[in-house]
Every structure is written in C-alpha cells, then in structure tokens.
Amino acid sequence: MSNHQDILSKLDNKYKKISQNLDTHLDGLLHSKPITYWDYINTDALLSLQTQRTDQPDEMVFLMYHQINELLFKMMLWELDQLATEQNITATFFKERLSRVSRYFDMLSSSFTVMQHGMDLKQYMKFRNTLTPASGYQSAQYRKIEFASTEIINLVDNRFRHKKSKNITIKDAFNDLYWQVAGKDFETGQKNFMLSSFEERYKEELLRFGKEYSTKNLWSIFKGLPSEIQEDKGLIEAMRHYDYTVNITWVIAHFNAAKHYLTNGGEITEATGGSDWTKYMHPKYQRRIFFPELWSEQERKDWGTNV
Ligand code: HEM
C-alpha cells in the first residue's frame, strides 16, 4: 500500500469509529483556509491583554513582565501535571521533566533584572499607587507551583513548622502557611484586603489543588522512586538546584527589586499589598525549603543567610 493509501485507510478508520463519512471531511478540506502563525498563536488576543491604568510608559514593563511570569508559571504547572499523572515514572522521565520545570524558573530568576533595573523609579512611584491593594502575592499559580513541588509541612510558617505533624493536611495547615503572615495584622491576626480577597477568589481552588498534589508533588514522587535512583548524584543535584533557584535565587532577586523601589533614600515605603515586606520577603526569614532532606543540617541553618 502506498503511503497515500495508507493514510486514507487510517483516516477512514478514524472517522468510521465516530460514525462519520471520510468523504465529507475530505471535501471540507477543499475549502478550509491554511493555518497562519497569527491564528495559531492567537497573536491578536494575546496582544490585546495589556491595559495600562496610568499614563506612565514604564507601567507597561511592569504589566507585561508579570504576564510573562504567569505564562511561565503555566508552563511549569503543565510539566508538573504531566509528572503527577504519569503512571510509570522512570528515572529518565523524572529527570527530564524536573529539568524542564527548573529551566523555566531559572529564566524567571535571571530575568528579574527587568524589574530591578528596567523601570524608571519616579514612574514606578506614580503608577504603583493605582495598583494598591493588589500584589503579586495574589498569584494563585505561584502557590500552586509550591503545592506541586513539596509536602504541605514544608510550606508551614517556619515558626510553627516543628510543632505540626509531618503529615498535616492542607485543610489543617492552610491558616498557618508561611504566606499567611504577610496578610495578617501582627497583633490582632486580622486579615488584610490583599489576603482576604485572594482567599475569597482562590481558597477553595487551592485547597482542592493542594489535596490533589499531597501525594503526587515532586518530593512524594521522588520518594517513590527506587532507592538506587534516589541516590543518583545527578538527580540529587538537579533537585537541589530547583529548590535553590525557586527559594533563594528568585526570592532574593524579588527582594532586591522591592528594595530598589521601596527604600527611597533610605526611607521604607509601604508595599502595595501592605505586608511587612522588609522582613517577610527575605529568604532567611521565610526559610522555605522544598526538599529539606537533601540539605545538611548546616545548610538548612544557613538558608538564605549568605546571599
Ligand atoms: C518592582 C517589582 C516588584 C515589587 C516592588 C514587588 C513587591 C512585592 C512585595 C512588597 C510583596 C509582599 C506582599 C505585599 O505586601 O505586596 C510581593 C509579593 C509577591 N510578589 Fe512581588 N514585586 C515585584 C515584582 C513581582 C513579579 C514580576 C512577580 C511575578 C509574578 C511577583 C510575584 C510576587 C509573589 C509570588 C509574591 C508572594 C511571595 C511570597 O509570598 O513570598 N512580584 N511583591
């Protein structure tokens, strides 16, 4: 059978299975338009999503860079989902997918200078006021990446982590997750608008997602691999690299950008979301580590202190 006939017979089979007539579909092809780049990428729709709130040109840098981040977060979640749903995870598959996820976060860490140096300070100080009380803190995809990377216990506020059961559920841990502190009044415990509006919009979704990933996050998958693979030096290094790029390199790049814009002449400016950001945003304060078992006691103790 020629290649041409082979394809026709496969198509015939395909359409018969859904009670469709191949000839009708072939006839349709006679009139269909060829695909173009702009239709496939949805360029017009994509480029229509950049709506500034002010007349400050650099607001566009801020807005678009956040959108780029959300797109990359989506790419990471796409990969993490494939890892989580794969029935037979081999070491090669795990390593390959882990390095994809890591590569995306490396891009985010190394490009953060777009924020730190890519906007005019005076313009930033003007447009930021129109963004209050919104904050990148309200990125649900960022939280999902964390849930898909580690066990819930490792995302509990560092001050209470040791008091909780290692198997704590997302539901029981939710109010003590490390990021809750940025959205609460220290003395009264009252949630600010940044946190309460975030929860209203995303809490249910995050609880569902966190529960789903409690058994198939990166760490649980790693622990389920045969022990000789878990001891593979290359794999351990790749896991540590991912942990470091997300929880130190990116966090410090983010902190430095905030410091650049929010410490005007030594005076500390309040964050749009209202957190006690000078402390909260530093990795040594949050001390979040996805894979603590892969770091020595000293490394965990020094987490975020030498950057
Ligand atoms: C000039 C640029 C930026 C500044 C000054 C800044 C500032 C801040 C501040 C002060 C917070 C603490 C919460 C608050 O009170 O608002 C925060 C949280 C956060 N921001 Fe940004 N940010 C910037 C860019 C970005 C970008 C590009 C992203 C990417 C999506 C991002 C994502 C986040 C996330 C995920 C959090 C929560 C982090 C955590 O809980 O530890 N930020 N940001």
In ligand 1, which atom is closest to the CA atom of 116?
A: 1
Q: Is 275 a pocket residue for ligand 1 (Cβ < 6 Å)?
A: yes
Q: Work out the mean pLDDT of the chain and round it to a whole number.
A: 95
- List the domains of the chain with CATH numbers: 3-32 (no CATH), 58-301 (1.20.58)
Q: Is 271 a pocket residue for ligand 1 (Cβ < 6 Å)?
A: yes
Whether residue 239 contacts residue 222, with contact meaning beta carbons closer than 8 Å, is answered with: yes
Banded model confidence at residue 1, pLDDT cuts 50, 70, 90: low
In ligand 1, which atom is closest to the CA atom of 119?
A: 1
Banded model confidence at residue 210, pLDDT cuts 50, 70, 90: very high
Whether residue 72 contacts residue 107, with contact meaning beta carbons closer than 8 Å, is answered with: yes
Q: Is 155 a pocket residue for ligand 1 (Cβ < 6 Å)?
A: no
Ligand 1: which residue has its CA nearest to atom 37?
137
Q: What is the pLDDT of residues 113-146, one digit of tens each?
A: 999 999 999 999 999 999 999 999 999 999 999 9
Q: How far is the CA of 141 from the centre of ligand 1 (A)?
A: 13
Mutate to test the pocket of ligand 1, among 254, 276, 281 (most ligand atoms within 8 A of CB): 254
Backbone phi, then psi, for 150, in 5-degree steps? -145, 175
In ligand 1, which atom is closest to the CA atom of 286?
A: 41
Q: Looking at 141-155, 182-196, 199-213, which range is the least confident one? A: 182-196
pLDDT at 15 over 80: yes
**Sequence-separated contacts (24+) of 125-129 with Cβ below 8 Å:** 125/261, 125/264, 125/269, 126/54, 126/56, 127/52, 127/53, 127/54, 127/56, 127/58, 127/59, 127/62, 128/261, 128/272
Q: Determine the Cα–Cα distance for residues 191 and 200; give it in Å rounded to an integer.
A: 12
Q: What is the pLDDT of residues 72-105, one digit of tens each?
A: 999 999 999 999 999 888 888 999 999 999 999 9
Tell me the pTM: 0.94
Owner of token pair 């964390």: 146
